[in-house]
Amino acid sequence: MSTTSIRRSRDVPTLVAAAREGDHRAVARLVSLVENDDPALPEVAAALAVHTGSAQVIGLTGSPGVGKSTTTNELVRAIRAQGRRVGVLAVDPSSPFSGGAILGDRVRMQDHATDSGVYIRSMSSRGHLGGLAAATPQAVRVLEGAGCDVVLIETVGVGQAEVEIASLADTTLVLLAPGMGDAIQAVKAGILEIADVFVINKADRDGADATYRDIQGMIALGERGAGDWRPQVVRSVANRAEGIDDVIAAIDKHRAWLEDHGQLIRRREARAAGEVEAIALGELRARIGSLRDGEALPALAARVAAGKLDPYAAARELLDGLGK
Amino acid sequence: MSTTSIRRSRDVPTLVAAAREGDHRAVARLVSLVENDDPALPEVAAALAVHTGSAQVIGLTGSPGVGKSTTTNELVRAIRAQGRRVGVLAVDPSSPFSGGAILGDRVRMQDHATDSGVYIRSMSSRGHLGGLAAATPQAVRVLEGAGCDVVLIETVGVGQAEVEIASLADTTLVLLAPGMGDAIQAVKAGILEIADVFVINKADRDGADATYRDIQGMIALGERGAGDWRPQVVRSVANRAEGIDDVIAAIDKHRAWLEDHGQLIRRREARAAGEVEAIALGELRARIGSLRDGEALPALAARVAAGKLDPYAAARELLDGLGK
C-alpha cells in the first residue's frame, strides 16, 4: 500500500496489520482516527483488544518551563537502551493543533527519527465527544497494539487534564524546577494526590535544595498510612542527561510496589472503568444532541397533540430511534 | 374503595377510572404521582391519552402581590358560571412544598370546596427529573382526563418558569399592578414575548392609567407584523370582581384568533414536542446517573483490563443494559 493510501485509509484491518508490523504512518493514521472520534473507532478497539493490557503506562506532567520535553526525550533514550520499544503521547488539553504539528514534537522527532522502536505523537481531543478521558486511552491502545512496551503520556500541568492523565498511568511523574514556586502551587493543585514520583529537574540551579526540602516536608505532612506508597523525590538535569537513571530507578521501584501490593491490576481496572464510562457518556451526550436536532420529534409531537399517542410512549419511540 | 386506599393507591386503572368519575382524591393522587416522577407515569399517560387534547389551557403569571390568586379565583367563578369544569394548577418553581400545602391553596379551596366542577392543586417539580417542563403538562393531562374543560396554570413570574408555563398555554395572561414598576420589569424580562393578554389588576389605584399607557406604548414598539396577534390590555379589580368579564372576553378573542389562524394546533404540537423532549432528556439524564452508580461497570472494566473485551463493546453493553 502506498504512503498516501495508508495516510487516508479507513480500512481498519489493513491499518491495524500495518501498525503491528511497525508502520509509523499506520500508527499515526490510527491516532488521528482516535482524535477525531471516527466512526471506525469501535472496530479499531475491537481489533486491538487482544494485543493490549501489558504495556507500562507512565504519565509525566508539570508546569510550562520545567523541562518536560527534554526529560521525556532522555527517558525515551534510556528505555530504548534497555531494548524496550516506547511510544510517546504529548497530550495538549487545550490546543486546537494536533497531528504532530507542534514544534516540540518535530524537534524530538529528529532525535529519534531513525529509530523504528520509537513513536512520538502529539494529540488533542478537540474532535472527541468523550474528551481527553476517552480519547487518550484509545491512543494508548494504538501504541500498545503497535508493539510498544512502554507508553509515556506527557501533558502540561493545568487543571483537570493532569488528573485525568494520572488516572490513566501506572506511574505518574510530576516535574518541578527550583525557584518557580512549584512546590506551593503543587500543594494548591492537590498534586500530591497524583504524584508517584517527584522529579526536581534543573537541579543544578539555585534553590534546588529548598525545593527538595519543601516537597519532602509536604510528603511527610500528607502521609496517609503504612501500607501506602510514599512518593519518591529525585533530582535531574535533563538537558545534560544527568539523573535520568535515578528517575528510571524510581519508576521501577514504584512498578514493583504496585505489583507486590496488587495495585497494578486495581489501577488498570479503574482506568478501564473510566474509559468505558467516558465512551458511554459521550454516546449518551451524542444522543441528547440528536434529540435536539432530529426530525423524528415533530412527527411524534403531532401524534401526541392529536391524542393518538401518549408523551411517554413518544419519548420511548424517540429514544429507541436514537439507540441504533 | 376507601379514602385511604385511593390516597395511597398506585393501581393506575382504578385511579384513572375514579378520576374520570370525578373523584377529587384520585385526581390529587395522580398529580402526586406526576410530581414525584413515579414509575407508573407512563401507564398513567397511556391511560389518559385518548381523553386529552381538547381542554383550553390558560397560563397566568405575574410578580408577587399583583393579585394572581384573587384573579384566578374570580376566573374560576366566571368559567363555572358558563357551565364549564375547571382545573387550577398553582405551580411553584422553587418551593419544596407541594400537595396543597401552601396557604393560598387552602384559602381558595374553601371558596370552591362544595363545587365538584373545580379542582385546585398546587404542585412543585422537585421530584421530577424532567423538571417543570415535563411535569406540568402531565398534570394538565390528569386534569383534562378528569373532565376539565379549562385548565388554568398559575405561576409566579420569575425567571425561566414563566416562559415554560407560557409555552404550555393556549393563552397566557400577564398580570400587572399600578405603581409596582411592572411595566419596566416586563420589558426587561421579555414578557412581551409571552403575553397574549395583559391584565392591569388593582386598576382602582393611582397610576393605573400610566401603567396602561406604558404597556400600550410597549406593545406598539414591539409590534411585529400585520398577521400577528396584538396583545390585549384589560383592567380589573379582582378583589371586587370587577373587569373579570373583560378578561374572559380577551381570552375568548385570543382563542378565536388562534383557531382562525391555524395557530391552536401549531401551539399544541409545539407543546407536545417540548413535553416529549423533556421526558426523553429526563430519561437520558437518568441513564447517565445509573451509569455512574451502577454495578455493571466494574465487571465490564475487569474484562477490558484483561484484554478480553474492547472498551467500545463494553460501553455498548453498558448502555444496552440501561436502555431496558
User: How much is the mean pLDDT over chain A?
Assistant: 83
The reply to whether residue A281 touches residue B288, judged by beta carbons under 8 angstroms, is yes
pLDDT in tens, A47-70: 988 888 789 999 998 887 888 889
Distance from A306 to chain B by nearest Cα, in Å?
6
Of A42, A52, A305, Cβ closest to residue B307: A52
Of B269, B300, B309, Cβ closest to residue A305: B269
The reply to whether residue B305 touches residue A265, judged by beta carbons under 8 angstroms, is yes
The reply to whether residue A46 touches residue B298, judged by beta carbons under 8 angstroms, is no
Contact B19, B30 (CB under 8 A): yes
- Residues 6 or more apart whose Cβ sits within 8 Å of residue A119: A24, A27, A86, A87, A88, A143, A146, A148
Assigned C-alpha cell, A269: 481496572
- Whether residue B286 lies within 8 A of chain A, CB to CB, comes out as no
Contact B173, B195 (CB under 8 A): yes
Q: Band of the pLDDT at B113, cuts 50, 70, 90?
A: low
Task: Classify residue B163 by burial, with Cβ atoms within 10 Å: 0-12, 13-18, 19+.
Answer: middle
Distance from A15 to chain B by nearest Cα, in Å?
17
- Residues 6 or more apart whose Cβ sits within 8 Å of residue A295: none
Find the mean pLDDT for residues B31-38: 86
The reply to whether residue B272 touches residue A305, judged by beta carbons under 8 angstroms, is yes
* Of residues A123 and B30, more confidently modeled: B30
Assigned C-alpha cell, A262: 496488587
pLDDT in tens, B180-218: 665 555 555 567 778 999 999 999 999 999 989 888 888
B309 contacts in chain A (CB < 8 Å): 49
Residue in chain B lying closest to A309 (CA): B49
- Residues 6 or more apart whose Cβ sits within 8 Å of residue B130: B37, B278, B279, B281, B282
* Mutation target among A258, A304, A308, A309 for the B interface, most CBs of B within 10 A: A304
The reply to whether residue A312 touches residue B272, judged by beta carbons under 8 angstroms, is no
The DSSP result for A270-292, as a single string, is: HHHHHHHHHHHHHHHHHHHHHHH
Q: Which of residues 226-285 of A touch B (CB under 8 A)?
A: 265, 268-273, 275-277, 279-281, 283-284
Contact B282, A316 (CB under 8 A): no
Assigned C-alpha cell, A316: 420511548
- Residues 6 or more apart whose Cβ sits within 8 Å of residue A39: none
DSSP alpha helix (H) spans, chain B: 3-8, 12-20, 24-35, 41-48, 68-81, 103-111, 131-145, 159-168, 182-188, 208-222, 244-260, 263-293, 296-305, 311-322
The DSSP result for B13-47, as a single string, is: HHHHHHHHTT-HHHHHHHHHHHHTT-TTHHHHHHH
Distance CA B307, CA A291 (A): 34
Distance CA B254, CA B266 (A): 14
Distance CA B95, CA B142 (A): 21
Residue-level pLDDT at B98: 39
- Whether residue A136 lies within 8 A of chain B, CB to CB, comes out as no
The reply to whether residue A42 touches residue B313, judged by beta carbons under 8 angstroms, is yes
pLDDT in tens, A97-133: 443 334 445 455 566 766 778 888 887 766 666 666 6
Assigned C-alpha cell, A157: 500541568
B277 contacts in chain A (CB < 8 Å): 291-292, 297, 315, 318
Find the mean pLDDT for residues B245-254: 97
Containing B173, the helix (H) or strand (E) segment is strand B171-176
| Exposure letters B259-284 (e unless 16+ CB within 10 A, then b) | eeeebbeebbbbbbbbbbbbbbbbbb
Residue-level pLDDT at A100: 38
Distance CA A237, CA B199 (A): 78
The reply to whether residue B291 touches residue A269, judged by beta carbons under 8 angstroms, is no
- For this complex, say whether ipTM is above 0.90: no
Contact B128, B135 (CB under 8 A): yes
How far from chain centre, in Å, is Cα B96?
A: 17
The reply to whether residue B315 touches residue A280, judged by beta carbons under 8 angstroms, is yes
pLDDT in tens, B272-305: 888 888 888 888 878 777 777 778 888 999 999 8
* Of residues A2 and B92, more confidently modeled: B92
The reply to whether residue B323 touches residue A318, judged by beta carbons under 8 angstroms, is no
Output the CA torsion sign for B221, B222, B228, B234.
negative
Find the mean pLDDT for residues A182-193: 63
Task: Classify residue A50 by burial, with Cβ atoms within 10 Å: 0-12, 13-18, 19+.
Answer: exposed
Amino acid at A81: A
Residue-level pLDDT at A295: 80
Assigned C-alpha cell, A156: 502540561
Find the mean pLDDT for residues B119-131: 71
* Mutation target among B170, B304, B319, B320 for the A interface, most CBs of A within 10 A: B304
Residue-level pLDDT at A98: 40
Residue B2's CB: how many other CB atoms inside 10 A? 9
Residue in chain B lying closest to A312 (CA): B42
Assigned C-alpha cell, A52: 493490549
Q: How far apart are the first and last CA of chain A?
A: 34
Of A272, A273, A279, Cβ closest to residue B312: A279
Task: Classify residue B193 by burial, with Cβ atoms within 10 Å: 0-12, 13-18, 19+.
Answer: exposed
Which DSSP letter does residue A199 get?
Answer: E
Count Cβ–Cβ pairs < 8 Å, chain A vs chain B: 161
Distance CA B235, CA A188 (A): 61
Whether B247 shows a pLDDT value over 90: the answer reads yes
Find the mean pLDDT for residues A254-265: 95
Phi, psi of B197 (to 5 degrees): -135, 130
- Whether residue A298 lies within 8 A of chain B, CB to CB, comes out as yes
Closest CA to B75 of B300, B238, B295: B238
* Mutation target among A30, A48, A57, A277 for the B interface, most CBs of B within 10 A: A277
How far from chain centre, in Å, is Cα B246?
A: 24
pLDDT in tens, A276-309: 888 888 888 787 777 777 788 889 999 998 889 9
Sorted by where each starts, the structural domains of chain B and their CATH numbers stand as: 53-261 (3.40.50.300), 275-322 (no CATH)
A40 contacts in chain B (CB < 8 Å): none
Q: Is B287 helix (H, G, I), strand (E, B) or coil?
A: helix
Contact B118, B148 (CB under 8 A): no
The reply to whether residue A288 touches residue B284, judged by beta carbons under 8 angstroms, is yes
Residue in chain A lying closest to B292 (CA): A277
Q: Which of residues 38-97 of A touch B (CB under 8 A)?
A: 41-42, 45-46, 48-54
